Amino acid sequence: MTDIKSMTLEELEQEMEKLGEKKFRARQIYSWMHEKLADRFEDMTDLSVALRKKLAENYVLTRLEPVKIQTSRIDGTSKLLFRLSDGNAIESVLMKYHHGNSVCISSQVGCRMGCRFCASTLDGLERGLTPSEMLDQIYQIQKWSGERVHNVVVMGTGEPLDNYEALLRFLKLLTCEGGLHISQRNVTVSTCGIVPRIRQLADEKLQITLALSLHASSQEKRRSLMPVANKYSLSEVLDACRYYYEQTGRRITFEYSLVGGVNDSAEDAQELARLVKPLHGHVNLIPVNPIKERDYVQSKHEAVVGFKNKLEKSGINVTIRREIGRDIDGACGQLRKSYMDTEK
């Protein structure tokens, strides 16, 4: 059956005409799905019983089932594990800040990028998520928390640009009128550096923030941490970021996971500053969350602060990401992996 929640309003209008219904029914259904966040056709009470029956017979209304929720006692961050209709599982995170609630969502079931410090990639890629599965992570979290989501980060399990067409449709549904209507400027999409897709995304001229998972200041170190660097060199990735900035006017965020004794030296900081300064970017330092399947360790606090100071002295805009969810399987993919391992 057709995935109705992934349809645009215009597509839904065409579907209603095919069913012999008035065009305005599409807007009613669209509102039920994307504003009132209805999970079932039978909840759409201003539609006739006959139309609700037709919808149930012809379309599937995606609903993710929360199967596990962990809430940090340290900072109130919540990680939610959702079961999909095919039995797979994905995870999302609700982070509460003074400026509003942010949700970090997954874009794929698993990941094939193979980044060495990431739990998401340990079992490889199962499949990409549909636009409705991406949306419903946000919808279910908003319903569960009873609070509006203000910011969305596509930085959970998966490589968003490896699920490009679904990502674009998701962004359109998320930010257009008639739904949650979250501003494009409040949406961040992360990538490990798929160069052709970065350039393609730049040509869309959206106003979202692009976050590049950089994690190393040399091609050699990046290749040891991130297999994608074997396909796209550091210079190619940075050229694509420059193009993105030129096309959109949006400043790039460079994500840099600090791994103790690997990429956290004073020389690493100096080289990183040299690379990103011409790009007018912002560096977000991330003390890496340890995962038991890898032997990487988090940089010591003094090393993190020293790295930040070195960048600032070079004129780089830099922040240290607040550690969240350390007590709740905080690293990306940890909760899903522990759940799937018990289900096998």
Which three-class secondary structure state does DSSP give residue 98? coil
Task: Name the residues annotated as catalytic.
Answer: 91, 332
Alpha-carbon gap, residue 153 to 94, rounded angstroms: 10
Are residues 271 and 312 in contact, defined by beta-carbon separation less than 8 angstroms?
no
* Six token digits for residue 144: 């569960």
Are residues 293 and 119 in contact, defined by beta-carbon separation less than 8 angstroms?
yes
Torsion from C-alpha of 156, 158, 161, 162, nearest 10 degrees: -170
Beta strands in 140-196 (DSSP E): 149-154, 187-191
DSSP strand pairing (78-83 vs 89-97): antiparallel
Distance of CA 133 to the CA centre of its chain: 12
* Residue 253 CA neighbour count, 13 Å, CB half: 20
Which three-class secondary structure state does DSSP give residue 287? strand
Alpha-carbon gap, residue 237 to 233, rounded angstroms: 6
Q: DSSP readout, 221-247?
A: HHHHH-GGGGTS-HHHHHHHHHHHHHH
Alpha-carbon gap, residue 241 to 58, rounded angstroms: 43
Residue 259 DSSP one-character state: B
Which three-class secondary structure state does DSSP give residue 176? coil
Residue 343 DSSP one-character state: H
